[in-house]
Chain A
Amino acid sequence: MTDVLSELLPPSESRHSLSEPDWLHEKRQEAGQAVKELGFPNSGIETWKYTSLHRLKKVDFRPAEIADSTADTTVMPKLEIDNSKEKTVIFINGFFREDLGTYKNTVAGIKIEPLYNNSNMLEKNQEFISSYSNDAFAALNLAGFSDGISIEVDDNALISETIRLVFIGEHRDPLLRNIKNIIQLGQNAQLRLIEEYRSGVSDFGLTNVSTNIVLQEGARLNHHRLQNEAISSSQIAKIVASVEANASYNSDSIVLGGQLTRLEIDVALTGERATCRLNGLFSGSGEQHIDHHTTVRHQVGDTHSEELYRGILDDKSRGVFNGKVVVEKDAQKITAKQASNNLLLSRTAEIDTKPELQIYADDVKCAHGATIGQLDSAALFYLRSRGISEQKARALLIFAFAEEIINTIPVDNLRSNLERRFIGHNQMSELKSEAC
């Protein structure tokens, strides 16, 4: 039992390097103290109202150590990587494994390194690294992070290769993996990044990941995040992004796996014509719990955001979507669109969806809508009357619901993977190309 969150703190002597800067060491101590004071977030906290951590509390987690990074790679999940288009960076149980990835630091304009060894990046991002406000898991992350990725893209660098970060969890013991990532794009830089979480079928770990993204003026990041861990693993994640003038942040969050997945995305649009598009697709079955909390902060005028989240929930699974939009005073001429559409496939599945608008300016266009529905029985009968089996007819209708999000993913490999996942095979794309 891990009734007390502070039991998840690593013993201070287990740090894998003694070269840690003093400030970081101090901040970790402070954060550890905060973890003790804050404890597990409970349902009395508004943002945790619909997500209970009782199942996590029953597991006796231990913080991952460097020795865990050499887990048996033969039992790892199979990764379908297109080496001609993607370069991989692989972490195991929260530790960088240079030997397993295909990315080498030879691409002009981009530098990717494990964060922990990058004292320059640590130093430059002291403020982000040190902040956790009242967030217990952020404090836990600071106190205990083992490593993470640091990505820097130079001004004006347009990176044509897709970078695929793969965080793999695999251990007999239930591990707590604290990961911290920093992604910075210089002015007018462009990058496509896949951030994927996988785990072995016997993994019971918890990944607690905190990612900071800074997009300088005119930069563009396409960020495809895929939670595809085993049904026994859990994840609590937070992304904080700052988007400067003319920059754009495009994010997809696809959640298929995991027992409990909680993702918070907090985007600040800090300069004029900054935009963000947040898409999400989650599919739960069994007793999966999938929670997205998004916040978009329109801090200045002429900034624009769009959100589209689609949830598909079967069995006793439960989904949560909370989309907060904050328009600051004097942030005029902004547009913010938000849609949350949900498909419940069983009577025992549940979705809690809530838009939350805080608007302090008057010349704004904000639209939001939430829908909850079931598979259309008339459509189901129509398909079956044509000779399509019930199972396949359901799959077709579910796929149709998911497709709008899947189609926005410009990575062939990832997209066809998702098509297979929903439709059972990939005749869909084959037929599409031939029929056109």
Chain B
Amino acid sequence: MLEIKNLHVAVEGKEILSGINLTVNAGEVHAVMGPNGSGKSTLSHVLAGKEGYEVTKGSILFKEKSLLDLEPEERAGEGVFLAFQYPIEIAGVNNVYMLKAALNGIRAYRGEPELSSVQFLKMVKDKVKAVGLDEGLLNRQVNSGFSGGEKKKNEIFQLSVLEPTLAVLDETDSGLDIDALKAVADGVNKLRIATRAFIVVTHYQRLLDHIVPDFVHVLSQGKIVRTGDKELALTLEERGYDWLAEENLV
């Protein structure tokens, strides 16, 4: 589904990613771990198409299309979704309205008819319960005045409505207490299906207790330095990242 080959990315002339190779198939959950500054968020942003990143080498194929040639909204149309580390507060834009515009934007991209308001609202009401988001937040302005947990739940709720085939969760655990973390992870687990892949970007292993990955990749200085299964995450939890860096030097 996703094939990243020899990806090099620079920000303002400074190389952040230095040759990433990663293949993700439908139904898989890949964890990308790494210390601060290793390039985890850069990878998430480049997948979603954020401006300010210069791809100097390499390619990203998503369902055989070059993702790098697409605008952010086209990537969403193709089925890519990024759950933000810091969801943006947008004063004056209603949460449900934004989501309806998003879903209909994606449907239009795919040549599907728009959903009517009635159809849309019925679907939304079912899904908001499933992710445990307070229904009252639906009609609030996007993320405005939401707690940290509510913001992250709102991201997962959007994921559930937009039904992407590739969901990238960028440090979804950051700033969450353990109850909120469990609730968000439960929401994600309900959305794991055979046709959907996840890339879970995280600094800490604790999220992976709840969203159990098929593969764990360790990112360091812009490269994937180790790939393993969920046991690798536990080792990292025990020993930190330094031993890997040292091992690589040897």
Residues on A close to B: CB < 8 A? 376-379, 381-390, 392-393, 396-397, 399-401, 403-404, 427-428, 430-432, 434-436
A431 to chain B, nearest CB (A): 5
Given contacts A384-B72, A387-B102, contact A379 B88 (CB under 8 A): yes
- Which one of A379, A385, A396, A434 contacts B82 once the chains associate, using CB atoms below 8 Å? A385
Q: Are B91 and A435 in contact (CB under 8 A)?
A: no
A400 touches B82 (CB 8 A): no
Of B77, B90, B91, B106, which contacts A383 at CB under 8 A?
Answer: B90
Closest chain-B Cβ to A369's Cβ sits at a distance in Å of 16
Partner of B98, one of A396, A401, A404: A396
Between B48, B72, B87, the greatest number of chain A beta carbons within 10 A of the residue's beta carbon is seen for: B72
Which residue of A has the minimal Cβ distance to B106?
A: A387
Q: In the bound complex, how far is the Cα of B99 from the Cα of A386, in angstroms?
A: 8
Chain B positions within 8 Å of A, measured between CB atoms, are 48-51, 71-73, 75-77, 81-82, 84, 87-88, 90-94, 96-103, 105-106, 109, 117-118, 121, 138-139, 158, 162
Question: In the assembly, what is the distance between CA of A400 and CA of B76, in Å?
Answer: 23
Contacts of A430 in B (CB 8 A): 117
A406 CB → nearest B CB, Å: 10
Interface of A is mostly: helix
A431 to B51, CA, bound (A): 31
- The answer to whether residues A379 and B90 also contact, given A384-B71, A387-B102, A436-B139 and a CB cut-off of 8 A, is yes
- Residues of A within 8 Å of B101, CB to CB, are 383, 388, 392, 396
A384 to B92, CA, bound (A): 17
The 7 closest A-B pairs by CB, nearest first: A400-B92, A387-B76, A386-B102, A387-B106, A384-B72, A387-B105, A382-B88
What residues of B have a CB within 8 angstroms of the CB of A382 in the complex? 84, 87-88, 90
In the assembled complex, the Cα of A379 lies from the Cα of B90 at a distance in Å of: 6
* A396–B87 CA distance with the chains assembled, in angstroms: 17
Known: A383-B90, A387-B162, A396-B101. A435 touches B139 (CB 8 A): yes
Which of A387, A389, A390 is the most central at the interface, judged by chain B CB atoms within 10 Å of its CB?
Answer: A387
Query: Nearest A residue to B109 by beta-carbon distance?
Result: A387
For A382, A385, A389, the residue with the greatest tally of chain B CB atoms inside 10 Å of its CB is: A385
- Knowing A377-B51, A378-B88, A435-B139, say if A384 contacts B73 (CB, 8 Å): yes
20 additional A-B pairs beyond A381-B88, A384-B73, A390-B73, beta carbons within 8 Å, are A377-B51, A378-B88, A382-B84, A383-B98, A383-B101, A384-B49, A385-B76, A385-B82, A386-B98, A386-B99, A386-B105, A388-B102, A389-B73, A392-B101, A392-B105, A397-B90, A400-B92, A400-B93, A404-B92, A431-B96
Known contacts A388-B105, A389-B105: A400-B91 contact under CB 8 Å: yes
CB-CB under 8 A from B97, the residues of chain A are 427-428, 431-432, 435
**Which residues of chain B come closer than 8 Å to A404, judged between CB atoms?**
92
Interface centre among A383, A392, A393, A404 (most CB of B within 10 A): A383
Name the one of A377, A379, A388, A435 contacting B94, with C-beta atoms under 8 angstroms: A435
Q: For B158, list chain A residues within 8 Å (CB).
A: 386
Q: How distant is the Cα of A362 from the Cα of B245 in the complex, in angstroms?
A: 67
29 A-B pairs whose Cβ atoms sit less than 8 Å apart in the complex: A381-B50, A382-B90, A383-B90, A383-B93, A383-B101, A383-B102, A385-B48, A385-B49, A385-B76, A386-B76, A386-B99, A387-B102, A387-B106, A387-B109, A388-B98, A388-B102, A388-B105, A389-B105, A390-B73, A396-B98, A397-B90, A400-B91, A400-B93, A427-B100, A428-B97, A431-B96, A435-B94, A435-B96, A435-B121
For A386, give the chain B residue with the smallest CB separation.
B102
- Give the residue name and chain of the B residue nearest to A430 (CB): B117
State whether A385 touches B72 (Cβ < 8 A). Answer: yes
Contacting residues, chain B, for A392 (C-beta < 8 A): 101, 105
Minimal Cβ-Cβ distance residue in A for B141? A400
Residues of chain A within 8 A (CB-CB) of B118 are: 434
The residue among A388, A392, A401, A436 with the most chain B CB atoms within 10 A of its own CB is A388
Bound complex: CA A390 to CA B92 (Å): 17
Q: Do the beta carbons of A388 and B84 come within 8 Å of each other? A: no
